[in-house]
Amino acid sequence: METTTLRTAAMPARKNCRIIRTLALLCLGFGFVWSRPLFAQVHEAWMSSYPTNDFAAGQAYALAVDGSGNVFITGYDTVKYDANGHQLWNTNGGVALGLDAKGNVCIADTVRATNGESELVTTKYDADGNLLWRSQYRGPANLSDYVKAIAVDSAGNVCVTGTIDCDNPPCFQGITYSDFATIRYSSNTTATLFRLRCFLS
């Protein structure tokens, strides 16, 4: 009588173990089936390298892709690749870039000024890499100015922002502070909006 009771009590436990094992195998199977397509979809379409022969300055800082799949990279130089990874042209580089609806590319960079400090420079090229215009900006203190970002709106207007050093009022007791400046250019390089803000205004 006791043996029958023990066997009867053990049956649900064995059944539960079989159910758990079955569920575990099903989960593993579903995980394998769902994960395979995710990995299979990732593949390398192309790879291209750009020689700079400069260990210190040979870097890339920004990338953008236009509606046709062309790839623009700026840094040591600005390089345009077609959708298949073939290099189309290269020109002077920068630290930020933006594209307009016509395929023109705008590059913002920080360059050395005539007094040994630095300034903001914005350059616009057409889709073939030809120079359209170039504009420079110096902060009122004529100290070090640095580009941070650039954006182009649907009308082709270009907005550039960066930090500028300030040692004039309303800055505090002649101490140099980093403020920020934003310049907006129309598509033909006319400055249409200028804003300057100091931390201690």
pLDDT of 48: 87
Q: Alpha carbon of 165 to those of 96, 101, 128, 144: distances in Å?
A: 20, 34, 36, 6
The model's pLDDT over 150-175, given as tens digits with 9 standing for 90+, comes to 999 998 999 998 888 776 555 455 55
pTM given for the model: 0.71
How many other C-beta atoms can be found within 10 angstroms of the C-beta atom of residue 103?
Answer: 16
Q: Alpha carbon of 33 to those of 22, 40, 98, 199: distances in Å?
A: 16, 11, 41, 57
pLDDT of 40: 60
79 bridge partner residues: 73, 90
The model's pLDDT over 120-158, given as tens digits with 9 standing for 90+, comes to 899 999 999 999 999 888 777 777 888 999 999 998 999
pLDDT of 86: 95
Burial status of residue 129 (CB atoms within 10 A of its CB: 0-12, 13-18, 19 or more): middle
pLDDT of 123: 94
The model's pLDDT over 76-120, given as tens digits with 9 standing for 90+, comes to 999 999 999 999 999 999 999 999 999 999 999 988 888 888 888
Which has the higher per-residue pLDDT, 60 or 19? 60
The model's pLDDT over 4-45, given as tens digits with 9 standing for 90+, comes to 444 444 455 555 666 666 666 655 555 544 445 555 677 888
Which has the higher per-residue pLDDT, 70 or 49? 70
Which has the higher per-residue pLDDT, 39 or 68? 68
Q: Does domain 60-197 correspond to CATH entry 2.120.10.30?
A: yes
